[in-house]
Amino acid sequence: MGLSIVLSVITIAITAIINLRIAEVYLKASGKTQALFSMIEGLRFSYQYYVVGIGILAFIMAVIGKSEKTYKKYFALFASLVAITIVFLRVWRIFI
């Protein structure tokens, strides 16, 4: 369970760093570039979707973990689901 939680935290941290970089690029862009920023985001920052692999690994580890149904297991499952979901949300818009 502990490794699953650590992997979830790593996934969330990497996603936050990538989203901060996306927000920085967006703020430095001109008006025309900001209007078409979803294309730029998809091309320049497409590697952000590879981070979901770590979150999926954390989820699998939480599901097949040997501990009984304790709060730690539920927290590990919740953290891994948050880590997977946050990759696909456009969190960088919050940082603007």
pLDDT tens digit sequence for 33-85? 888 888 888 888 888 889 999 999 999 988 887 766 788 888 888 999 999 99
Among residues 2, 18, 19, 9, the alpha carbon closest in space to that of 83 is found at 9
pTM: 0.85
Q: 20 is written with which tokens?
A: 């901060």
CB of 22 within 8 A of CB of 45? yes
Q: Looking at the chain, how many residues does it have? A: 96
